Structure 1
Amino acid sequence: MTTEIIDHEEVHAFTIRKEIEIAAPIEIAFEAILDELGADAQMPDGKSLSMKIEPWPGGRWFRDLGNNAGHLWGHVQVIKPPTLLEITGPMPMSYPAVNHVQYRLKANGNETFLTFAHRAMGLIQPEHRDGMPEGWTQWINQIRERAEQKARG
Protein backbone atom coordinates (compact mmCIF):
# COMPACT_ATOMS: atom_id res chain seq x y z
CA MET A 1 0.00 0.00 0.00
CA THR A 2 1.20 3.48 -0.84
CA THR A 3 0.16 6.61 1.01
CA GLU A 4 0.72 10.08 -0.36
CA ILE A 5 0.07 13.38 1.37
CA ILE A 6 -0.10 16.49 -0.79
CA ASP A 7 -0.11 19.72 1.16
CA HIS A 8 0.57 22.26 -1.57
CA GLU A 9 -2.99 22.57 -2.92
CA GLU A 10 -4.76 25.78 -1.98
CA VAL A 11 -8.40 26.48 -1.36
CA HIS A 12 -9.71 29.21 -3.65
CA ALA A 13 -12.98 31.09 -3.69
CA PHE A 14 -14.67 33.31 -6.23
CA THR A 15 -17.93 35.12 -6.89
CA ILE A 16 -19.37 35.93 -10.29
CA ARG A 17 -22.30 38.37 -10.46
CA LYS A 18 -24.26 39.30 -13.55
CA GLU A 19 -27.32 41.45 -14.04
CA ILE A 20 -29.39 41.54 -17.20
CA GLU A 21 -32.70 42.93 -18.37
CA ILE A 22 -34.95 40.54 -20.25
CA ALA A 23 -37.71 41.86 -22.52
CA ALA A 24 -40.20 39.23 -21.37
CA PRO A 25 -42.62 38.75 -18.48
CA ILE A 26 -41.19 37.14 -15.34
CA GLU A 27 -43.03 33.82 -15.83
CA ILE A 28 -41.53 33.40 -19.30
CA ALA A 29 -38.06 34.38 -18.06
CA PHE A 30 -38.25 31.79 -15.26
CA GLU A 31 -39.39 29.13 -17.72
CA ALA A 32 -36.43 30.02 -19.98
CA ILE A 33 -34.05 29.46 -17.06
CA LEU A 34 -35.47 25.99 -16.46
CA ASP A 35 -35.27 25.23 -20.20
CA GLU A 36 -31.64 26.32 -20.29
CA LEU A 37 -30.77 24.25 -17.23
CA GLY A 38 -32.54 21.25 -18.75
CA ALA A 39 -32.83 19.63 -22.14
CA ASP A 40 -32.15 22.84 -24.10
CA ALA A 41 -28.68 23.41 -22.57
CA GLN A 42 -25.96 23.58 -25.22
CA MET A 43 -22.20 23.74 -25.43
CA PRO A 44 -20.69 26.77 -27.17
CA ASP A 45 -20.58 24.76 -30.42
CA GLY A 46 -24.35 24.10 -30.24
CA LYS A 47 -24.05 20.45 -29.19
CA SER A 48 -26.48 19.33 -26.49
CA LEU A 49 -25.15 19.12 -22.94
CA SER A 50 -27.78 16.43 -22.17
CA MET A 51 -28.77 18.22 -18.96
CA LYS A 52 -31.81 17.47 -16.81
CA ILE A 53 -33.30 19.47 -13.95
CA GLU A 54 -35.86 18.33 -11.45
CA PRO A 55 -37.52 21.66 -10.51
CA TRP A 56 -38.43 21.01 -6.87
CA PRO A 57 -36.55 21.30 -3.54
CA GLY A 58 -33.87 18.61 -3.47
CA GLY A 59 -34.29 17.94 -7.19
CA ARG A 60 -31.19 16.97 -9.13
CA TRP A 61 -29.45 18.97 -11.83
CA PHE A 62 -27.35 16.55 -13.80
CA ARG A 63 -25.81 15.65 -17.13
CA ASP A 64 -27.38 12.44 -18.40
CA LEU A 65 -24.99 10.54 -20.68
CA GLY A 66 -27.26 7.49 -20.89
CA ASN A 67 -26.72 3.92 -19.64
CA ASN A 68 -26.69 5.19 -16.03
CA ALA A 69 -23.65 7.37 -16.74
CA GLY A 70 -23.38 11.11 -16.19
CA HIS A 71 -22.40 13.92 -13.83
CA LEU A 72 -24.30 15.33 -10.85
CA TRP A 73 -23.95 19.11 -11.06
CA GLY A 74 -26.10 19.98 -8.07
CA HIS A 75 -29.38 19.93 -6.20
CA VAL A 76 -32.15 22.51 -6.12
CA GLN A 77 -31.73 24.24 -2.77
CA VAL A 78 -34.50 26.84 -3.17
CA ILE A 79 -37.19 27.22 -5.80
CA LYS A 80 -39.89 29.91 -5.63
CA PRO A 81 -41.33 30.26 -9.13
CA PRO A 82 -41.09 32.71 -10.77
CA THR A 83 -38.75 34.77 -8.60
CA LEU A 84 -35.96 32.56 -7.25
CA LEU A 85 -33.92 29.46 -8.06
CA GLU A 86 -30.84 28.35 -6.13
CA ILE A 87 -28.72 25.30 -6.88
CA THR A 88 -25.83 23.98 -4.82
CA GLY A 89 -23.34 21.25 -5.69
CA PRO A 90 -20.10 20.42 -7.47
CA MET A 91 -21.29 21.90 -10.81
CA PRO A 92 -18.82 20.85 -13.56
CA MET A 93 -15.98 20.39 -11.06
CA SER A 94 -14.82 16.81 -10.47
CA TYR A 95 -12.72 17.63 -7.42
CA PRO A 96 -13.35 18.97 -3.91
CA ALA A 97 -15.39 22.13 -4.48
CA VAL A 98 -18.73 23.59 -3.43
CA ASN A 99 -20.77 25.85 -5.68
CA HIS A 100 -23.91 27.91 -5.15
CA VAL A 101 -25.78 29.41 -8.12
CA GLN A 102 -28.64 31.86 -7.66
CA TYR A 103 -31.10 33.22 -10.23
CA ARG A 104 -33.16 36.04 -8.71
CA LEU A 105 -35.86 37.60 -10.91
CA LYS A 106 -37.81 40.81 -10.42
CA ALA A 107 -40.78 41.83 -12.57
CA ASN A 108 -40.88 45.28 -14.12
CA GLY A 109 -44.09 45.37 -16.16
CA ASN A 110 -43.55 43.13 -19.19
CA GLU A 111 -39.83 43.01 -18.53
CA THR A 112 -37.74 41.07 -16.04
CA PHE A 113 -34.54 41.99 -14.23
CA LEU A 114 -32.34 38.93 -13.62
CA THR A 115 -29.61 38.98 -11.01
CA PHE A 116 -27.32 35.98 -11.25
CA ALA A 117 -24.63 34.96 -8.76
CA HIS A 118 -22.22 32.03 -8.73
CA ARG A 119 -20.16 31.52 -5.59
CA ALA A 120 -17.58 28.75 -5.31
CA MET A 121 -14.85 27.54 -3.02
CA GLY A 122 -12.54 24.57 -2.99
CA LEU A 123 -9.51 23.24 -4.83
CA ILE A 124 -10.63 25.13 -7.92
CA GLN A 125 -8.52 24.67 -11.01
CA PRO A 126 -7.44 27.89 -12.75
CA GLU A 127 -9.04 26.89 -16.07
CA HIS A 128 -12.42 26.56 -14.39
CA ARG A 129 -12.08 29.83 -12.47
CA ASP A 130 -10.85 31.72 -15.53
CA GLY A 131 -13.41 30.23 -17.94
CA MET A 132 -16.48 30.66 -15.74
CA PRO A 133 -17.23 34.36 -16.44
CA GLU A 134 -17.32 33.81 -20.21
CA GLY A 135 -19.30 30.59 -19.86
CA TRP A 136 -21.92 32.17 -17.60
CA THR A 137 -22.18 35.19 -19.93
CA GLN A 138 -23.05 32.86 -22.79
CA TRP A 139 -25.49 30.90 -20.60
CA ILE A 140 -27.29 34.04 -19.37
CA ASN A 141 -27.49 35.47 -22.90
CA GLN A 142 -29.09 32.23 -24.09
CA ILE A 143 -31.68 32.54 -21.32
CA ARG A 144 -32.42 36.13 -22.37
CA GLU A 145 -32.68 35.21 -26.06
CA ARG A 146 -34.91 32.21 -25.32
CA ALA A 147 -37.26 34.25 -23.08
CA GLU A 148 -37.50 37.16 -25.50
CA GLN A 149 -38.21 34.81 -28.40
CA LYS A 150 -40.99 33.11 -26.40
CA ALA A 151 -42.43 36.50 -25.43
CA ARG A 152 -42.60 37.53 -29.10
CA GLY A 153 -44.51 34.32 -29.85
Structure 2
Amino acid sequence: MSITLGSMRFLNDNDYKKQIRQWVKNLITYEDEDVLTDAESAAQAEMETYLAGRYDIKKIFDTSQPPGERNHLIVMYMVDIALYHLHSNIQPEDVPELREKRYKEAKDWLKEVAAGLANPILPEVKPEDNPDYTGSIATGGNPKVSERY
Protein backbone atom coordinates (compact mmCIF):
# COMPACT_ATOMS: atom_id res chain seq x y z
CA MET A 1 0.00 0.00 0.00
CA SER A 2 2.88 2.35 -0.71
CA ILE A 3 1.77 5.82 -1.51
CA THR A 4 3.50 7.54 -4.37
CA LEU A 5 1.83 10.54 -5.96
CA GLY A 6 3.43 10.94 -9.35
CA SER A 7 6.99 12.09 -8.79
CA MET A 8 6.30 13.30 -5.25
CA ARG A 9 8.71 11.84 -2.72
CA PHE A 10 8.20 11.62 1.04
CA LEU A 11 11.90 12.26 1.64
CA ASN A 12 13.77 15.24 0.26
CA ASP A 13 17.45 15.93 -0.35
CA ASN A 14 17.80 17.81 2.96
CA ASP A 15 16.76 14.66 4.86
CA TYR A 16 19.97 12.95 3.73
CA LYS A 17 22.38 15.76 4.63
CA LYS A 18 22.70 14.73 8.29
CA GLN A 19 23.63 11.16 7.41
CA ILE A 20 25.62 11.14 4.19
CA ARG A 21 27.74 13.50 2.13
CA GLN A 22 26.27 14.57 -1.18
CA TRP A 23 29.16 13.15 -3.23
CA VAL A 24 28.70 9.71 -1.59
CA LYS A 25 24.95 9.86 -2.20
CA ASN A 26 25.62 10.71 -5.85
CA LEU A 27 28.01 7.78 -6.07
CA ILE A 28 25.63 5.16 -4.62
CA THR A 29 22.68 6.41 -6.67
CA TYR A 30 24.72 6.70 -9.88
CA GLU A 31 23.34 10.27 -9.91
CA ASP A 32 20.05 8.74 -11.07
CA GLU A 33 16.90 10.04 -9.39
CA ASP A 34 15.04 6.81 -10.26
CA VAL A 35 17.55 4.72 -8.28
CA LEU A 36 17.01 6.95 -5.25
CA THR A 37 13.23 6.90 -5.65
CA ASP A 38 13.23 3.09 -5.91
CA ALA A 39 15.28 2.77 -2.71
CA GLU A 40 12.95 5.18 -0.91
CA SER A 41 9.89 3.26 -2.12
CA ALA A 42 11.41 0.00 -0.87
CA ALA A 43 12.23 1.61 2.49
CA GLN A 44 8.69 2.95 2.80
CA ALA A 45 7.16 -0.42 1.92
CA GLU A 46 9.39 -2.09 4.51
CA MET A 47 8.30 0.39 7.17
CA GLU A 48 4.65 0.02 6.23
CA THR A 49 4.75 -3.73 6.92
CA TYR A 50 5.47 -2.93 10.57
CA LEU A 51 3.21 0.11 10.93
CA ALA A 52 0.12 -0.91 8.94
CA GLY A 53 -2.91 -2.00 10.89
CA ARG A 54 -2.07 0.02 14.00
CA TYR A 55 -1.09 3.31 12.36
CA ASP A 56 -2.56 5.30 9.49
CA ILE A 57 0.21 4.93 6.93
CA LYS A 58 -1.57 7.22 4.46
CA LYS A 59 -1.21 10.08 6.92
CA ILE A 60 2.30 9.12 8.05
CA PHE A 61 3.71 9.04 4.51
CA ASP A 62 1.57 11.87 3.11
CA THR A 63 3.81 13.68 0.60
CA SER A 64 1.87 16.93 0.99
CA GLN A 65 3.06 17.39 4.59
CA PRO A 66 5.49 20.25 5.12
CA PRO A 67 8.93 18.78 5.90
CA GLY A 68 8.88 20.09 9.48
CA GLU A 69 5.58 18.36 10.28
CA ARG A 70 6.72 14.84 9.38
CA ASN A 71 7.63 12.52 12.24
CA HIS A 72 11.38 12.88 12.71
CA LEU A 73 11.92 9.23 13.67
CA ILE A 74 10.08 8.05 10.57
CA VAL A 75 12.23 10.33 8.40
CA MET A 76 15.48 9.28 10.09
CA TYR A 77 14.77 5.55 9.94
CA MET A 78 13.48 5.75 6.37
CA VAL A 79 16.75 7.44 5.34
CA ASP A 80 18.70 4.71 7.18
CA ILE A 81 16.79 1.96 5.41
CA ALA A 82 17.04 3.62 1.99
CA LEU A 83 20.81 4.17 2.39
CA TYR A 84 21.30 0.56 3.44
CA HIS A 85 19.47 -0.63 0.31
CA LEU A 86 21.45 1.74 -1.90
CA HIS A 87 24.76 0.50 -0.49
CA SER A 88 23.73 -3.15 -0.75
CA ASN A 89 22.71 -2.56 -4.36
CA ILE A 90 26.34 -1.77 -5.22
CA GLN A 91 28.15 -4.45 -3.23
CA PRO A 92 25.93 -6.56 -0.96
CA GLU A 93 28.87 -8.24 0.78
CA ASP A 94 30.64 -4.95 1.48
CA VAL A 95 28.00 -2.66 3.00
CA PRO A 96 29.66 -0.16 5.37
CA GLU A 97 29.39 -1.18 9.03
CA LEU A 98 27.67 2.10 9.93
CA ARG A 99 24.91 1.44 7.37
CA GLU A 100 24.39 -2.11 8.65
CA LYS A 101 24.24 -0.87 12.24
CA ARG A 102 21.76 1.92 11.49
CA TYR A 103 19.62 -0.43 9.36
CA LYS A 104 19.51 -2.95 12.24
CA GLU A 105 18.55 -0.17 14.68
CA ALA A 106 15.75 0.94 12.35
CA LYS A 107 14.45 -2.63 12.02
CA ASP A 108 14.65 -3.17 15.79
CA TRP A 109 12.66 0.01 16.40
CA LEU A 110 10.04 -1.02 13.85
CA LYS A 111 9.73 -4.44 15.49
CA GLU A 112 9.26 -2.79 18.89
CA VAL A 113 6.56 -0.54 17.44
CA ALA A 114 4.81 -3.49 15.82
CA ALA A 115 4.91 -5.42 19.12
CA GLY A 116 3.54 -2.44 21.04
CA LEU A 117 6.77 -2.02 23.06
CA ALA A 118 7.47 1.40 21.54
CA ASN A 119 4.69 3.91 21.09
CA PRO A 120 5.67 6.68 18.70
CA ILE A 121 3.39 9.64 18.30
CA LEU A 122 1.87 8.71 14.96
CA PRO A 123 -1.70 8.94 13.65
CA GLU A 124 -3.46 5.72 14.61
CA VAL A 125 -5.99 3.88 12.51
CA LYS A 126 -9.47 4.81 13.68
CA PRO A 127 -11.91 1.93 14.22
CA GLU A 128 -14.38 3.53 11.80
CA ASP A 129 -11.69 3.48 9.09
CA ASN A 130 -10.81 -0.18 9.71
CA PRO A 131 -13.56 -2.31 11.24
CA ASP A 132 -11.15 -5.27 11.61
CA TYR A 133 -8.82 -3.28 13.89
CA THR A 134 -9.18 -4.37 17.51
CA GLY A 135 -6.61 -2.07 19.10
CA SER A 136 -3.05 -2.63 20.20
CA ILE A 137 -3.79 -4.68 23.29
CA ALA A 138 -2.48 -8.22 23.12
CA THR A 139 -4.92 -10.82 24.35
CA GLY A 140 -4.55 -14.42 25.26
CA GLY A 141 -3.55 -16.47 28.24
CA ASN A 142 -2.80 -19.91 29.43
CA PRO A 143 -4.75 -22.83 28.00
CA LYS A 144 -7.74 -23.90 30.04
CA VAL A 145 -6.98 -26.80 32.32
CA SER A 146 -9.57 -29.20 33.67
CA GLU A 147 -9.05 -30.95 36.97
CA ARG A 148 -11.80 -33.51 36.43
CA TYR A 149 -10.88 -37.14 36.18
Structure 1 or 2: more helix by fraction: 2
Structure 1 or 2: more strand by fraction: 1
Structure 1-normalised TM-score? Answer: 0.29
Structure 2-normalised TM-score? Answer: 0.30
